[in-house]
Structure 1
Amino acid sequence: MSELVVYGATAAGVCAAVAAARHGVAVTLLEPGRHVGGMVSGGLGYTDIGDPRVLGGMAAQFRAAVADHYGTDRYAGPEPHVAERIFTRWLTEAGVAVEFGAEVPAMTDAAVYIDASYEGDLMAAAGVSYRVGRESRALHGESFAGRTEPAPGKHQFPPYLNPFARDGSLLPLIDPGEEAAVGEGDGRVMAYGYRVCLSTAQDRIPFTRRDGFRDEEWELARRWLAPGPPDDVVGLVQNLPNGKCDGNSIGPLSLNLLDGSHQDYPTAGPARRAEIVRRFQEYTRDFLYFMASQGRLDGWGWAADEFDGGLPHQLYVREARRMVGSHVLTQHDLTATPQHDTVAMGSYHMDIREVRRTWRWVYEHPDPIPSVYNEGYLSVPVRPYQIPYRSLVPRYNECRNLLVPVCVSASHVAFSSVRMEPQYEMLGHAAGLAAVQALKKNVAVQQIDTRALQDQLHDEGQVLAL
């Protein structure tokens, strides 16, 4: 049996596995799907980085490998297949054993484990405490926590957009669920979606009508488009090489599906998750077809040489479970608190994408008017901050041989900044080296020498302070 078992071949999982294997540890990387790289190879090529000064370690190594592939001294977001090729090469060169189609492993005391999945399934199976979705403002004293009031902006509908069909029923693509009071926690997670790889190349594949496309599902979109909103509903900028773009969720009705379909996902079993993923796949194909039929995607199509000319292999799970570990990173840590056991830095905005689409009565004279709105979006700049090792490990009395570099111990607000892929790569790097030390010293992951870990990370290019 391997000394280190990494569950989830996300970018964090690859970096953790490779970092440990480079130091002589036998590593098995278990991936429930069929690809390595998670979102980095699954559509999110044009990733958000914040302050580039904080990027070091294996995140910097990946950026250098991408630049080298394209023969430039400047980093550009990689095409998805290029990102996966780099990660695959790293794993092969380091001698990591990769198993696809893997289930959550049964943990034993004979090894150290790293849960690098987006969902935190191994962490949950180990009995480690976690939270899902928004907490109340009172829990950590965070001013941006809890349910929020709708605010104007590029992800908001114009006022007075009617949410009801002619028969009085609520239109599709609107969440009918109950609403918590402002500032209260409701357990809801931010939007999911696909980051699609589109192309302007001659061999691009057109968007076609799917069998099962329901015309009535797009009445809300028609009402929104009728006055003539901005043309760009996907982010049609050639931000990847070779005429491609990493299509993002732009505007109030976008690649994000906000009808509540994803709220079960974090803790659902495989069958229910498969249903949710299928719903997102169908929605994404229908959204692109509908927008193309409205003349909003002229000149673009599926990239023929990515994902077999269709959807990426990875749903963008922006957040799922979050560990409640030795230290819960909060809004306060991102804005003021230095850490003594820093293993990486973050710098991107507190970036909470829309949580739900619903409606309310707007009390105008002479009669109230029903109006659709999106709720939950937040984008607040932060200065570069330190991420502590304590946020990667469970409480000592819960589990002593598990590290968690993706579903880290953080509040919903703090996680919205930490969740960027370069941070996952750096946290995976730290988790891999921490696992090496725990194995070699035969100690609990909570008992490693964090100063020695910091020294090793520094030697390998990690940025721990500015």
Structure 2
Amino acid sequence: MKKKNVSIFIALIFFQLQIIIPRSHAQTAKKQFKADIIIYGGTSAAVTAAVQATRMHKTVIIVSPDQHLGGLSSSGLGFTDTGNKEVIGGLSREFYHRVYLHYQENNGWKWQKKEQYGNMGQGTPAIDGKDRTMWIFEPHVAEKIMEDFVKENHLQVFRKELLNRKHGVVKKSGNIVSISTLSGKKFNGRVFIDATYEGDLMAAAGVSYHVGREANATYGETWNGVQALVFQHGHHFASKIDPYKIPGDKTSGLLAGISTETPGANGTADKKLQAYCFRMCLTNVPENRVAFPKPDRYNPLDYELLVRVFNSGWKELFNKYDPLPNHKTDTNNHGPFSTDFIGMNYDYPEASYQRRAEIVKDHENYQKGLLYFMANDSRIPKGLQEKLNTWGLAKDEFKDNGNWPYQIYVREARRMIGNFVMTEKEVLGQKEVPKPIGMGSYSLDSHNVQRYVTPEGYVQNEGDIGVKAPKPYSIAYDAIVPKAFECKNLLVPVCISSSHIAYGSIRMEPVFMILGQSAATAASLAIDGKKAVQQVDYNQLKLNLLKQGQRLSVFSPN
């Protein structure tokens, strides 16, 4: 090869290397990201936290395990558990104001005229013209509002990024330095917020938590632990129903869904969880209705117990088809045998991602199978079956998921154990709450935990509790921060430090939005003051929250 040609060849190689090396570096760099505040989760709390962080001039990244944002708020829970709406402030109230604005427009009413809708909400009018809020909405409307928050605030969101729960949390001197996801992405931050329903970041960071029901003796409560033969919602077997495959024959085995275990003594602890389900969006508009599909796994024998419930004279099937705009529903569990897949979620909080996916799929198959069974089996009372078949899944909801909700209702998973634990005493107004950052007002509300055979030989449910809070109550700042020796730069606004039964009231979507905003405010102040989250000046935090329109106590000037 001539000398000139060699020189040209070398020059070309060098030029290519100059291109390749920077590209390789860029590809590596794309795996690492940095912001003041890193939020793990795709829930409504995650979105409000991110918006507030931006409003306080902090850089923020949402690392969402989910594709769709908003959690249950945009996944079927449109008949909002408001409690006392006057204690819902800040970005949470702004969300419901945006719902109101959507339904003020004519194009918000595709399948129904506004004047035909009515105005029934849960303890409050659905449309509140005076406060310009609306508390009842379709799932896609909630998701659009969440996405509007993202666009308007230029939020950086990484979707379908699962935390590496084994090796993905790096800590130094009691602070989280970075988190990594299973895709290999690494997120560095100054303060972190776990806004998941499961509390995965909290757990991976080595923070103390609890799963299951505490004993009443643990925090001096009345409604915690096992609550056998305590019936407060009507979701129990009011008639004597035989639990065996062949009635009267114990040797034939129990019907599907009935545990061979018996509950412990009332008030004692266990590791069991209140039941999960999907909040379904149904419609009776023929042009928008999809017939109830047969699930991937279907066995009519799974629903034999329901036939016996109907045969006992129970006819309340449609009592929780709560109306949403445009002839849709938020359909929730109701009665002794319904959409709650009782006893099938106990291992969910600590389970691997694969096992969780299996649990979610089992719940989907159970619930789809329940609808398919009621719509097609000849043993269902004819009148109820005919009415049911006027309903179906909404064609214009959850379009990329077979019209099925994206998010299972994780009513309870892990709960942090911080320096302050919210208990029924705070919820019921028996004890003052220090350093309030938001409010709740809903009843102590736990769904059933287990289905068993009574000593008399009949089937019964256990765990369903509903005790009204006499007035709104405050939620403590120390309930959303870990103990300082465990982690100094983490806030947990969803899996907060709370007993099982107190969480039954706190676990409402408006409250999660409130706590998400308060968590981001505290995170911003911690960064500004170069302090641990436990050392944030509460008076400064309180002043900021009041300026944001948060309601902090019954004595709050807001």
**Residue 374 of structure 1, CA deviation:** 0.5
Identify the residue that residue 195 of structure 2 maps to in structure 1: 116
Identify the residue that residue 415 of structure 2 maps to in structure 1: 322
2:328 to 213, 233, 244: 244
1:169 to 227, 243, 253: 253
Query: 1:346-365 residue pairs with structure 2 within 5 A?
Result: 346-362=440-456
Identify the residue that residue 106 of structure 1 maps to in structure 2: 169
1:189 to 273, 297, 301: 273
> C-alpha separation between the residues in 2 aligned to 1:180 and 1:231?
30
**Residue 310 of structure 1, CA deviation:** 2.4
Identify the residue that residue 424 of structure 1 maps to in structure 2: 512
CA distances 1:89-147 after superposition (whole Å, capped 9, x unpaired): 11121121100111225243352100000000000000000001100011111011110
For residue 361 of structure 2, what is the amino acid of its counterpart?
A: R
**Residue 78 of structure 1, CA deviation:** 1.6
**Residue 154 of structure 1, CA deviation:** 1.9
2:97 to 64, 81, 89: 64
SS in 1 for 2:293: coil
Indicate whether 1:225 and 2:302 are aligned: no
> C-alpha separation between the residues in 1 aligned to 2:229 and 2:404?
31
2:99–2:135 CA contact under 8 A, matched in 1: yes
> C-alpha separation between the residues in 2 aligned to 1:391 and 1:331?
14
For residue 404 of structure 2, what is the amino acid of its counterpart?
A: L
Query: 1:32-431 residue pairs with structure 2 within 5 A?
Result: 32-71=65-104, 73-104=132-163, 106-107=169-170, 108-109=176-177, 110-152=189-231, 154-166=234-246, 168-203=252-287, 204-233=289-318, 235-237=320-322, 239-258=323-342, 260-293=343-376, 294=380, 295=385, 297-308=388-399, 309-334=402-427, 335-362=429-456, 370-382=457-469, 383-431=471-519
For residue 248 of structure 1, what is the amino acid of its counterpart?
A: N
SS in 2 for 1:408: coil
CA distances 1:418-448 after superposition (whole Å, capped 9, x unpaired): 0011000000010011111111211100001
**Residue 187 of structure 1, CA deviation:** 1.7
> After TM superposition, what 4+ stretches of structure 1 lie above 3 angstroms from structure 2?
107-110
CA distances 1:200-253 after superposition (whole Å, capped 9, x unpaired): 11220011333431011111111111133124256224x211110000101111
CA distances 1:173-198 after superposition (whole Å, capped 9, x unpaired): 21233532221100211110000000
1:145–1:183 CA contact under 8 A, matched in 2: yes
Identify the residue that residue 3 of structure 1 maps to in structure 2: 36
Residue 193 to residue 236, structure 1, CA distance change in 2 (3 Å)? same
Identity level (%): 40
SS in 2 for 1:39: helix
For residue 239 of structure 2, what is the amino acid of its counterpart?
A: P
Bigger radius of gyration, 1 or 2? 2
For residue 159 of structure 1, what is the amino acid of its counterpart?
A: S
> C-alpha separation between the residues in 1 aligned to 2:313 and 2:278?
25
> C-alpha separation between the residues in 2 aligned to 1:256 and 1:341?
36
Identify the residue that residue 444 of structure 1 maps to in structure 2: 532
Report which structure shows greater RCO (CA 8 Å, sep ≥6): 1
Q: CA RMSD for the aligned pairs?
A: 1.4
Name the count of aligned residue pairs.
Answer: 457
Structure 2 unaligned segments of length 5 or more: list them: 1-33, 105-128, 171-175, 178-188
> C-alpha separation between the residues in 2 aligned to 1:211 and 1:384?
44
For residue 446 of structure 2, what is the amino acid of its counterpart?
A: I
1:346–1:384 CA contact under 8 A, matched in 2: yes
1:352–1:413 CA contact under 8 A, matched in 2: yes
SS in 2 for 1:361: coil
> C-alpha separation between the residues in 2 aligned to 1:459 and 1:169?
61
**Residue 326 of structure 1, CA deviation:** 2.0
> C-alpha separation between the residues in 2 aligned to 1:410 and 1:340?
14
For residue 94 of structure 2, what is the amino acid of its counterpart?
A: Q
**Residue 373 of structure 1, CA deviation:** 0.5
Identify the residue that residue 17 of structure 1 maps to in structure 2: 50
SS in 1 for 2:388: coil
> C-alpha separation between the residues in 1 aligned to 2:321 and 2:421?
38
Normalising by structure 1, what TM-score?
0.95
For residue 299 of structure 1, what is the amino acid of its counterpart?
A: T
1:234–1:248 CA contact under 8 A, matched in 2: no
